[in-house]
Amino acid sequence: LGQITQHTLTPIIKQRVYEILHCSYEGSFKALYIEAKVMELLVATFAKQTSKRLPNASETHKLQRIKAIILAELDQPHTVNSLASRVHLSDNKARQGFKQLFGVPIITFLRQQRMEKAAWLLEVEGLTVTDTAVALGYSNMSNFRVAFRNYFGCNPSHYLKLKIMMITHD
């Protein structure tokens, strides 16, 4: 018989599952969307790991500290260099190790977390788009709108309108 293995739930895998569970499409388009997301989920789950050595315990601890710093300081302008320096790790080890450990590059993780926090601040906390951008450290509204659009596929104000429409139709 087959062998049961456990896979780490990386941010990419978690995001794909979230997208499947929160699909707002209907009918055949919903089926097509879910099928595509399941394919993405399978690729993310079974993609071959790079043959480079895995981070050792000390490096893993430092990489987890980088993740914690990002989560605690979403409003700060982090770079890979600044984060690696704070935990006494080389840029190269930080980049490679973070991707191996968490499944995404550091900067991608940072952007994902900022945008998820932005959605939370807009939806749940009721902040304005401007206040949300400021809370996440954006000094330029245009940069915030572009980042939001790249992540969610629409501007923050349109995102809120879609969420309100979804709530009123439930």
pLDDT in tens, 67-125: 999 999 999 999 999 999 999 999 999 999 999 999 999 999 999 999 999 999 999 99
Indicate whether this model's pTM tops 0.95. no
Average pLDDT of the residues of the chain: 87
What is the number of residues in the chain? 170
Pick the range with the lowest mean pLDDT from 44-58, 92-106, 132-146: 44-58
CB 148 within 8 A of CB 121: no
Whether residue 162 is predicted with pLDDT greater than 60 in this model: the reply is yes
Cα–Cα distance, 144 to 151 (Å, whole number) = 11
pLDDT of residue 55: 86
CB 91 within 8 A of CB 57: no
pLDDT of residue 51: 41
CB 104 within 8 A of CB 12: yes
